[in-house]
Amino acid sequence: MTIAFEPWMYVAVLPEILLVVLTLVVLGLDLALPEERRGGLGWLTAGGLTAIILVGFAVAMPAGEPRLMWGGMLRHDWLGFAFKLTALFAAAATSLLSMDLAQVGKRGEYYLLLLASTLGMMLMGSAADLVMLYLAIETTSIPLYVLAGFLTRDDKSTEAGFKYLLFGAMTSAVMLYGFSLLYGFTGSTNLYELASLAQAGQLSLASVFGSLLLVLVGFAFKISAVPLQFWAPDVYEGAPTPVAGFLSTASKAAGFAVLVRVLMAVFPGIQPYWGAVISALAVATMTLGNFFALSQKNIKRLLAYSSIAHAGYALIGVAAISMPGSTLGATSVVFYLITYVVTNLAAFGAVAAVGRVTGSDEIASYAGLSRRSPWLALVLLVALLSLSGMPPFGGFVVKFAVFAAAVEVNLIWLAVIGVLNSIIGLYYYLTVLKVVYLYRSEEEDKPMPVPGGYALGLLVLCVGILLIGTLFAPWFSFSSGAAAALF
Amino acid sequence: MTALQIIFLITAVITLGAAAMVVITRNLVHAALWLIMTFFGISVLYVLLNAGFLAVAQVVIYIGAISILMIFAIMLTRRVQQDFGPQTNAAWPWALVIAAALFGGLIWIFSGWGNFFTQAPVMGERADPLRQLGMALVSPEQYVIPFEVASVMLTAALIGAIMVAWERK
Amino acid sequence: MLIEYLPIAILLVISTGLAALIVWIGNTFGPRRPTLRKSLPYESGMNPIGPGTRRMPVRFYLVAVLFILFDIEVVFFLPWAIVFRQLGLFGLIEMFVFIFILLVGYVYAWKKGALEWE
């Protein structure tokens, strides 16, 4: 298969090109500016990313039929575009939330690694070739390993980076082995060529299912699905808080993008099989995540288990895709992830803003927060209620969409388990809010300063949550466009 | 048996034996040296597959650079070259079960593949894989995007390594 | 074809055989009268003050990592250099972009002092 080169392909990857340019500018400024003047790097990164999002909307929006480009390495379609913008948005929010953090916010390396990782995520969303896919996953992961261990003087952060590296390297080796099997069996690395070979019956069931399992190991690690979820709490706890937020949102969303694309493209012939696998993963992931979250004392660990549970909810949507006649499945997954990214970034942002003043991530230290900083408490309220799936916040609409997708294809039992899990989830989110709003503390008359970056970032995120929850129609059509172009 | 098969068998035995020694030997530095042997065997396998460039890359990158890094990394650790203490922990039976299951699974996967005994097509005399690779790497109809992304990844890795290992003044 | 690799194979066999032969000759024919002093590691005539293997500074690791990265870069150059003339301007520009991005990393390493050995 050869795909002729045409000039429009430059425009289609313009956001990626601009991102590389931004990365180089940030690094150059880091080298050129004296240390005390590097505070503006965070604003530059956030502003640059916002500009790239706007450019993406202006020129790189896919129109018409999805097309393979750059020799079949990338696919220009809505799925890729939606996840590209999500990754850019998450990176912009993360840089806003981290620029006032000591030992992090004024260092060019931090933004450089963040941007390099974002580039990987953008390519993960649109990669249509195993070579490109693997490279994109590694470009995402390697900077994230370093970011998780960014506070080299802090033992917990170092441990987080190291654990993430070890598990990440191992699972990506297994996944790469799965890729090599796929290539060995078919002689092709292009996902869509693989798909046509699989549909033509060129592949035996054993070889497809076996390589699917190996590939799933890598993807399950990225989205922190059971049984590869165990790294998440330790890594989120040790990593700098904005990095933990970035890991739990953008990295997870990119993992889902890859999962959905590969499952739908390469393995459509064995849909019932992977449907069963994904359903089982969804149930295990939700239930385990929620049950472990109940007993957490540290808010970052709690959010880590909650993010595992949310991967489970999103997997319900993926399981729905596997059933014949699903119209809502893919839409609901994309929609769920966009909302989840916005919501969880707000939660981690609030945790970072509180943590930089109190120096603690224990839930007990949140006592009296509503008096120290009513606005931060409100952000936490919005984020946690949206995570638990309460109306009128975004989380409600998307949970509804995912469960509806399951019911539509008669996976009613899966939807019921999902609803039961949401009720468990509600309990621990409310426990945190109880501490925030009802408990008193001795320090409650000391106000908590919220620097400009946090204020702007959290404001944007909260408005996003409310917009999704109330005016969800435009978002819904955005995501259904993404899902419709999958095939 | 053809000469090629004999060379392959000898290489395979040496490679597998060296790989086993990597896990069996008690001295970490020796394990790293056995690993070099394994890498070398793999590069011979690449030669047998007519992938000369890959063989060279294997020697230059894996033997020349990565094993050096490993030996340095071993020498960085606190208990350098101490070769006492148990080599397994309490979970070894589980590890054995999982390894056996994985191996069985792989056999099962390969059993479904019908092309085991088909002869690979012989490359023509005029075929030049290296030239093709050079063209493919920078061709917009092939691998130019991964090629450029690789440079970003390498730069990020470079900066990450300096970040982690370099003490700031 | 594979016959092209014959010189390498011969070289390998000769060098391995020669090394083994030399060790064997030394072991078999050399006179050996060990004393305690002769068996000690050679430390320029001083008494050894500790084991021969000790922890090395992290700087070695950094040098090795930098070496790997530039090694990979060089490996990428080789196939490109062979077809350099056929590729024309586009190939040249692509390679310049590749080198430029890596060069930025190199400048970073230089400026941060990672290439210095104090």
8 A C-beta contact, residue A363 and residue A299: yes
Residue A359 pLDDT > 70:
yes
Phi, psi at B14, each rounded to 5°: -60, -45
Q: How far is A141 from chain C (nearest CA, A)?
A: 17
Quick one: how far is CA A73 from the chain centroid? 22
How large a percentage of chain A has pLDDT more than 70?
Answer: 95
Checking if the pLDDT of B112 tops 80, the result is: no
> By residue range, what is the domain housing residue A382?
267-487
Q: Do residues A224 and A231 touch, judged by C-beta distance below 8 A?
A: yes
- pLDDT surpasses 50 at B68: yes
Cα–Cα distance between A51 and A144 in angstroms, integer?
23
Q: Are A300 and A236 in contact (CB under 8 A)?
A: yes
- Among A20, A24, A31, the residue with its CB nearest the CB of C111 is A31
Least confident of A193-202, A225-234, A258-267, A374-383: A193-202
Per-residue confidence (pLDDT) for residue A57, from 0 to 100: 86
Residue with tokens 């850019």: A88
The H or E element spanning position A68 is strand A67-69
> B80, C82: Cβ pair inside 8 Å?
no
Nearest CA in chain B to A133: B146
ipTM comes to 0.88
Contact between chains at C107 and A20 (C-beta distance less than 8 A): no
pLDDT mean over B81-101: 82
B156/A20 Cβ within 8 A: no
C residues 12-51 closer than 8 Å to B (CB): none
The pair of structure tokens assigned to A412 is 């009613």
Give the position of tokens 């990672």. C114
pLDDT at site A47? 92
Query: How far are the Cα atoms of A19, A111, A122, B9 from residue A26, in angstroms, in the given order?
Result: 10, 7, 19, 53
Among A259-268, B46-55, B91-100, which stretch is predicted with the lowest mean pLDDT?
Answer: A259-268
Check B153 against A9: CB less than 8 A apart.
no
Torsion, Cα of A435, A437, A439, A444 (10° steps) = 120
Per-residue model confidence as pLDDT tens digits over A138-179: 999 999 999 998 888 888 888 999 999 999 999 999 999 999
Q: Please tell me the distance in Å from C86's CA to the nearest CA on chain A.
A: 18
Tokens representing residue A259 in the block? 């999962």
Per-residue model confidence as pLDDT tens digits over A216-252: 888 999 998 888 888 899 999 989 999 999 999 999 9
Task: Give C20 to chain B, closest Cα distance, Å.
Answer: 16
**Both structure tokens of A391:** 């109306």
Chain C residues near residue B77 by CB distance under 8 angstroms? 55
Angle at A179 between CA A328 and CA A325, to 5 degrees: 20
- What is the share, in percent, of chain B residues with pLDDT greater than 70? 84
Chain B residues with CB within 8 Å of chain A CB? 105-106, 108-114, 139-146, 148-150, 152-153, 155-157, 159-160, 163-164
In a domain, A96, yes or no: no
Mean pLDDT score, A295-318 = 91
Distance CA A157, CA A150 (A): 7
Q: Are strands A74-76 and A67-69 parallel, antiparallel or unpaired?
A: antiparallel
DSSP states of B61-108 as a string? Answer: IIIIIIHHHHHHHHHHSSSTT---S-S--TTHHHHHHHHHHHHHHHHH
Structural domain total, chain A: 1
Q: How far is A169 from chain B (nearest CA, A)?
A: 14
Q: Distance between CA atoms of B93 and B51, rounded to whole angstroms?
A: 39
Neighbours of chain C (3+ CB pairs under 8 A): A, B
What does the pLDDT read at residue A163? 92
C105 and B61 within 8 Å at the Cβ level: the answer is no
What number of C-beta contacts closer than 8 Å exist between B and C? Answer: 138
Q: Which residues in chain B are closer than 8 Å to C52, comparing Cβ atoms? A: none
Structure confidence by residue, pLDDT tens digits, A110-144? 999 999 999 999 999 889 899 999 999 999 999 99
- Please state which of the ranges A95-99, A407-411, B111-115 shows the lowest mean pLDDT: B111-115
- CA–CA distance, A222 with A101 (Å, rounded to integer): 26
Tell me which residue of A337, A312, A311 sits closest to A478, measured CA to CA: A337
Q: What is the pLDDT of residue A235?
A: 92
Contacts of C111 in chain A (CB under 8 A): 31
Mean pLDDT by 10 residues, chain C (118 residues): 82 94 92 81 75 74 86 87 83 88 88 78
CA angle A354, A434, A355 (to 5 degrees): 10
| Residues A332, A476 contacting (CB under 8 angstroms) | no
- Give A487's pLDDT tier (boundaries 50, 70, 90): very low
Judge: A27–C108 Cβ closer than 8 Å, yes or no: yes
Question: Do A229 and A292 meet the contact criterion of CB atoms below 8 Å apart?
Answer: no
pLDDT confidence band for A358 (50 / 70 / 90): confident
Closest by CA to A78, choosing from A259, A317, A331, is A331
Of the residues B164, B166, B167, the best mutation for testing chain A's interface (the one with the most A CB atoms within 10 Å of its CB) is: B164
Confidence of residue A343 (pLDDT cuts 50, 70, 90): very high
Dist. CA B51–CA B127, nearest whole Å: 12
Tell me the one-letter amino acid at A280. A
B140 → chain A, closest CA residue: A70
Collect all residues of chain B within an 8 Å Cβ-Cβ radius of residue A143.
156, 160
Contacts of B165 in chain C (CB under 8 A): 58-59, 61-62, 65
Give the residue from chain A lying closest to B136, CA to CA.
Answer: A71
What's the average model confidence in pLDDT over B147-165? 89
- As a whole number, mean pLDDT of residues A259-270 equals 78
Q: Please determine, for residue B124, whether its predicted confidence score (pLDDT) is greater than 70.
A: no
Between A22 and A203, name the one with better pLDDT.
Answer: A22
Half-sphere exposure for B111 (CA within 13 Å, toward CB): 7
pLDDT digits (tens, 9 = 90+) for B14-51: 999 999 999 888 888 888 999 999 999 999 999 888 88
**Contact residues, chain C, for B150 at CB < 8 Å:** 76, 98
Does residue A356 fall inside a structural domain?
Answer: yes
Please tell me the distance in Å from B127's CA to the nearest CA on chain C: 10
* pLDDT computed for residue B83 by the predictor: 64
pLDDT at A167: 92
Instruction: Give me the residues of C, 98-117, that contact B with CB < 8 A.
Output: 98-99, 101-102, 104-106, 108-109, 112-114
A116 part of a folded domain: no
Q: Identify the pLDDT of residue A249.
A: 92
CA dihedral (C60, C61, C62, C66) positive or negative: positive
Q: Which residues pair with A190 in a beta bridge?
A: A129
